[in-house]
Amino acid sequence: MTSSHTLAREEPEHLTQAARRQVQVDPLAALRAPGDPPWDVYLTGTVFLDIIFTGLDSAPVRGTESWARGMGSSPGGVANMAAALARLGLRTALAAAFGDDHYGEYCWDALERGEGIDLSASRTVPGWHSPVTVSMAYEGERTMVSHGHEPPPEAVFGPDGGPARPPRARAAVASLTPGRGAPWIAEAARAGTRIFADVGWDETGAWDLAGLPDLEHCEAFLPNAEEARRYTGADCPRAAAHALTECVPVAVVTLGEEGAYAVDRRTGEAAEVPAIAVEALDPTGAGDVFVAGFVTGSLAGWPLADRLAFAGLTAALSVQEFGGSLSAPGWSEIGAWWRKVQSLPGQDPMALERYAFLEDLVPKRLDRPWPLRRAVPTIGFGRSA
Average pLDDT over residues 239-261: 96
pLDDT band with cut points at 50, 70 and 90 for residue 34: very high
User: Secondary structure of the chain in the HEC alphabet?
Assistant: CCCCCCCCCCCCCCCCHHHHHHCCCCCCHHHCCCCCCCEEEEEECCEEEEEEEECCCCCCCCCCCCCCCEEEEEEEEHHHHHHHHHHCCCCEEEECEEECCHHHHHHHHHHHHHHCCECCCCEEECCCCCCEEEEEEECCEEEEEEECCCCCHHHCECCCCCECCCCCEEEEEEEEECCECCHHHHHHHHCCCEEEEEECCCCCCCCCHHHCHHHHHCCEECCEHHHHHHHHCCCCHHHHHHHHCCCCCEEEEECHHHCEEEEECCCCEEEEECCCCCCCCCCCCHHHHHHHHHHHHHHHCCCHHHHHHHHHHHHHHHCCCCCCHHHCCCHHHHHHHHHHHHHCCCCCHHHHHHCHHHHHCCCCCCCCCCCCCCCCCCCCCCCCC
Q: Please report the pLDDT score of residue 350 as a whole number.
A: 86
pLDDT over 70 for what percent of the chain? 84
Does residue 301 have a pLDDT over 80? yes
In this prediction, residues 158-168 reach a mean pLDDT of: 64
pLDDT of residue 40: 98
User: For the residues 55-60, what does the mean pLDDT come to?
Assistant: 85
Sign of the alpha-carbon dihedral angle for 239, 244, 27, 176? negative
Label residue 264 exposed, middle or buried (CB < 10 Å: 0-12, 13-18, 19+): buried
Sorted by where each starts, the structural domains of the chain and their CATH numbers stand as 17-57+68-147+164-201+208-360 (3.40.1190.20)
So what's the pLDDT on residue 56? Answer: 85
Residue 86: is it exposed, middle or buried by C-beta count within 10 angstroms (0-12/13-18/19+)? buried
What is the reported pLDDT for 12?
35
Confidence of residue 27 (pLDDT cuts 50, 70, 90): very high
What is the mean predicted confidence (pLDDT) over 198-220? 93
Q: Where residue 380 falls among pLDDT bands split at 50, 70, 90?
A: low
Predicted pLDDT of residue 21: 45
**Cβ neighbours of residue 355 under 8 Å, at least 6 residues apart?**
309, 313, 338, 341
pLDDT, residue 70, reads 81
Q: Provide the mean pLDDT of the chain.
A: 85
What is the model's pLDDT at position 290?
A: 95
Q: Residue 359 pLDDT > 70, yes or no?
A: yes
Of 81, 114, 74, 113, residue with least CA distance to 96: 81
pLDDT at 69 over 60: yes
Per-residue model confidence (pLDDT) at position 156: 64
